Amino acid sequence: METLILKVNRDQPRGLEPAARILQSGGLVAFPTETVYGLGAIFNNETALLNIFAVKGRPADNPLIVHIYGLDQLSRIAGSISPSAEKLIDRFWPGPLTLIFPKKPEVSSRVTAGLDSVAVRMPSDPAARELLRLTGIPVAAPSANLSGKPSPTLGEHVINDLFGKIECIIDGGACPAGVESTVLSLTGTVPVILRPGTVTREDLEQVLGQPILEAGEGEVERPQAPGMKYRHYAPAAPVFLYEGEPEKIIREINRSLKEKTSGTKAVVLGTTENLSKYHNEWVLDLGPRDDPGVIAARIYQLLRFCDQFGADLILIEGIPEGGVGTAVINRLRKAAGGNVIHVS
> Dihedral (C-alpha) 32, 52, 103, 25: value to the nearest 10 degrees?
80
Window 242 to 271, contacts with ligand TXA (CB under 6 A): none
Is 81 a binding residue for ligand TXA by CB under 6 A? The answer is: no
CB of 78 to Mg ion, least distance (A): 22
222 C-beta neighbours (distance < 10 Å), count: 18
Window 156 to 185, contacts with ligand TXA (CB under 6 A): 180-181, 183
| Secondary structure class of 100 (helix, strand, coil) | strand
Residue 181 DSSP class: P
Is 143 a binding residue for Mg ion by CB under 5 A? The answer is: yes
**Residue number, 63 or 138, with CB nearest to ligand TXA:** 63
**Residue number, 161 or 252, with CB nearest to Mg ion:** 161
Cα dist from 107 to 7, 20, 114, 193, 313, whole Å: 31, 20, 10, 23, 43
> Dihedral (C-alpha) 173, 143, 49, 74: value to the nearest 10 degrees?
-90
Is 303 a binding residue for ligand TXA by CB under 6 A? The answer is: no
Closest residue to ligand TXA, judged by C-beta, is 227
Is 45 a binding residue for ligand TXA by CB under 6 A? The answer is: no
CB of 120 to ligand TXA, least distance (A): 9
Q: Rounded to whole angstroms, how far apart are CA atoms 118 and 100?
A: 5
**Residue number, 65 or 269, with CB nearest to ligand TXA:** 65
Q: H helices of the chain, where? A: 17-24, 46-56, 71-77, 83-92, 109-112, 126-135, 155-162, 201-208, 246-259, 292-309, 325-336
CB of 60 to ligand TXA, least distance (A): 12
CB of 330 to ligand TXA, least distance (A): 11
The Cα angle at residue 203 between residues 198 and 205, in degrees rounded to 5: 135
Binding segment toward ligand TXA, per CB under 6 A, in 8-16, 21-29, 110-118, 154-162: 110-118
Which residue ranges make up the site for Mg ion (CB under 5 A)? Answer: 143
Which residue ranges make up the site for ligand TXA (CB under 6 A)? Answer: 33, 35-36, 38, 62-65, 96, 98, 100, 112, 115, 117-119, 121, 141-143, 180-181, 183, 194-195, 223, 225-228
